[in-house]
Amino acid sequence: MAEPSILSESRHKTWVLWHHACEQVQKCEDAAFAKAGISRQMFPILIGIECLDNPVTVADLARWEGRHANSTSMMVDRMEKRGLVEKIRDLPDRRATRLTVTQVGKKMLGESARVGSELIERITSCLSEEELEVFNHVNYKLREKAFEELGESTERIEERKSAFSQDTARLLGMADERQ
């Protein structure tokens, strides 16, 4: 039987530092999105409904976010109660519901995209363009390795990369329109 590998000090330090950084960034996002009137968890749902091809369902959103359909559904229910999204029965398949962003939701999405973009600019301003490229490269590698660990197919990883790229470009455009 093979001996378990000993985690190197540098790998442990990187792991802990990465988690601390992620936690602090999430706290910053919580504060920024609260100013816009929504939660950090609501933001990607609004983006997904706007960016994915219509009709958008809860299952589509969950797949796009890489989350469980149940947790996405519960968040959509809360957002519907707040008037941010609307569920509409799909006419061809009356069992299915499609999602749309309401006018109130679009306004909050625009404001959230603006404050989110400003936050990204503030947080990443300590990095040069070269450092950002290295950081992105390393994060892509870590994300791909995590997908592999979870048993995600290479095709699914490529699909997510492509969707992420397109959605990021669209998000940046939405933020620019609001400024």
**What are the pLDDT digits (tens) for 26-78?**
999 999 999 999 999 999 999 999 888 878 899 888 888 888 889 999 999 99
**Which pTM was predicted?**
0.78
Quick check: is 28 in a domain? no
- How many other C-beta atoms lie within 10 A of the C-beta of residue 97? 16
pLDDT grade for 3, boundaries at 50, 70 and 90: low
For residue 114, give its domain range.
Answer: 34-178
Say yes or no to pLDDT of 86 above 60: yes
Helix (H, G, I), strand (E, B) or coil at 10: helix
Report pLDDT for 9: 92
Residue 11 lies in a domain: no
Give tens-digit pLDDT for 147-166: 889 887 667 666 666 666 66
1 lies in a domain? Answer: no
User: Is 103:83 a contact under the CB 8 Å cutoff?
Assistant: no
Give, as one character, the DSSP assignment of residue 171. Answer: H
Domain harbouring 72, CATH code: 1.10.10.10
